[in-house]
């Protein structure tokens, strides 16, 4: 999604706003999502993935898209943040392991700045694992100056960027599991 907006790296956390009342289509992840991911974690191979594919699509991927949509409508658009929220933001379960048939036992999405490549930029990430939802910032291997600056900002005392953003989603998405940041 290409919209004119502010560079997220230049927006102070206290300047962020949200829609009141928020628009919510995300209802959380069902226990079946965590169960399917746990089975995939115990046997991370393409055969297990094929067995779990309908459950992963229904209980992991579809709710994740609703979570992304809620974040865009309630946070990205109201704050005019120039973040990529459509192209290359979701992961895949199957690994590119040259035919070995491996797969990942978690699913994630990442927002990154428009006009940049996801792998070469700082990413705001949300990932779902068998033991719960995790949110954070990922600078990647090719982090450069942006990644160093991001690390410095996130280490500031009292910086609670993701805590503010996911206050509502924590209760609905972890189903009693702890959130890891």
Q: Is the pLDDT of residue 65 over 60?
A: yes
Q: 136 has which bridge partners?
A: 125
In a domain, 128, yes or no: yes
In a domain, 179, yes or no: no
pLDDT value for 77:
84
Structural domain count, the chain: 1
In a domain, 7, yes or no: no
Entry pTM? 0.74
pLDDT value for 11:
74
In a domain, 10, yes or no: no
- Domain of residue 156 covers 29-173
Q: Is the pLDDT of residue 103 over 60?
A: yes
Question: Tokens representing 114?
Answer: 């428009």
What sign results for the dihedral spanned by CA atoms 161, 8, 113, 5?
positive
Least confidently predicted of 9-13, 46-50, 70-74, 168-172: 168-172
Percent of the chain exceeding pLDDT 90 equals 32
CA separation for the pair 105, 92 (Å, rounded): 10
What letter does residue 136 receive in the DSSP assignment?
E
Query: How large is the average pLDDT for residues 13-26?
Result: 75
């Amino acid at each position: 999604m290409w919209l004119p907006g502010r560079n997220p790296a230049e927006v102070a956390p206290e300047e962020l706003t949200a829609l009141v009342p928020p628009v919510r289509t995300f209802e959380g992840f069902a226990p079946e999502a965590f169960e399917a991911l746990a089975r995939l974690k115990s046997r991370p191979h393409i055969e297990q993935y094929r067995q779990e594919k309908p459950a992963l699509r229904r209980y992991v991927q579809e709710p994740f898209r609703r979570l992304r949509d809620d974040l865009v409508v309630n946070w990205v658009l109201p704050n005019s943040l120039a973040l990529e929220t459509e192209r290359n933001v979701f992961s895949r379960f199957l690994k590119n392991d040259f035919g070995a048939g491996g797969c990942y036992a978690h699913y994630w999405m990442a927002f990154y700045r428009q006009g940049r490549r996801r792998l070469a930029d700082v990413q705001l990430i949300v990932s779902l694992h068998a033991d719960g939802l995790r949110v954070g910032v990922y600078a990647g291997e090719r982090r450069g100056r942006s990644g160093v600056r991001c690390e410095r900002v996130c280490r500031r005392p009292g910086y609670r960027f993701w805590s503010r953003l996911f206050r509502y989603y924590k209760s609905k998405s972890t189903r009693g599991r702890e959130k890891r940041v």
